[in-house]
Structure 1
């Protein structure tokens, strides 16, 4: 496995990431049929503002850049050290993303391992995440890394 370490996002990386993560989340919500397209980006931006009220300086949040051993930045992590639904001793991975140019090289697994290491460094013994049902690659990665389904939503379109 490729080794990936982490460092905090810089202010300029944070600014660019905020836009990208909001757009990606909005697109996923629209694709899942949860939000209407014309409201999705505004909702995602507002949600991120709520979850990160102090930006990079939001307490209890890790905003990290995944970096290969040669210093090349390859991805990003957004981790809350407190679970959004109050699960005890459980951090929450809001976002994990390998930069497009580096996908398919095993870096997703390495970045996930780096997220787990960061959580363990804070004395937390569990990490939870959400994955959209149509993201088979991510579902496969998480399952092969030992993540188990703890809740599941299902929907059927009635036409």
Structure 2
């Protein structure tokens, strides 16, 4: 596995990441048919603001950067130490992303493992995440890292 550690985001990194995260999440929601395109970005921005009311200083949130031993930042990880559905003793990954130029080198698995270590260090016993059904690469990573399906939503399009 690629060698990687995590460190807290800086204020500058947080500001850049917030916008990028909202744009990516909005696009995923539109592609999944969950949100209308013209409202998606604002909805994503509002949702993130609700989850991070104090920004980088929001209590119970780990906002981390994955860093190689040479200091190169390769990705981002956002973990809530309290599950959004209040599942006991369970943290939640809101976002994990390896920067495009570093994908395919094992950093996704290393970032996931480093996040798991950070959650363990906080005394939380399990970690959960959500993944879109069409994201087969991520599903493969999570399954091979020991994650199992605990809930599943299914949809059938009735219009062509």
- Which TM-score bucket, shorter chain as reference? over 0.9
Matches within 5 A, 1:80-95: 80-95=80-95
Q: How many residues align?
A: 159
Q: CA separation in 1, counterparts of 2:7 and 2:112?
A: 14
Cα distance, 1:3 vs. partner?
1.1
| Gap regions ≥5 residues in structure 2 | none
Alignment correspondent of 1:33: 33
Structure 1 length normalisation: TM-score? 0.99
Q: Which residue of 1 aligns with 2:51?
A: 51
Q: Which residue pairs with 2:97 in the alignment?
A: 97
Aligned to 1:13: 13
| Alpha-carbon distance, 1:111 to partner | 0.3
Counterpart mapping for 1:115-154 below 5 A: 115-154=115-154
SS at match of 1:128: strand
| TM-score, normalised via structure 2 length | 0.98
Cα distance per residue 1:8-30 (max 9 Å; x no partner): 10000000000000000000000
Per-residue deviation at 1:116? 0.2
Deviating runs (4+, > 3 A) in structure 1? Answer: none
Q: For 2:29, what is the secondary structure of its paired residue?
A: helix
Deviation at 1:69, TM superposition (A): 1.0
Q: What residue number does 1:111 align with?
A: 111
Q: RMSD of the alignment, in Å?
A: 0.5
Distance 1:124 1:70 in 2: 30
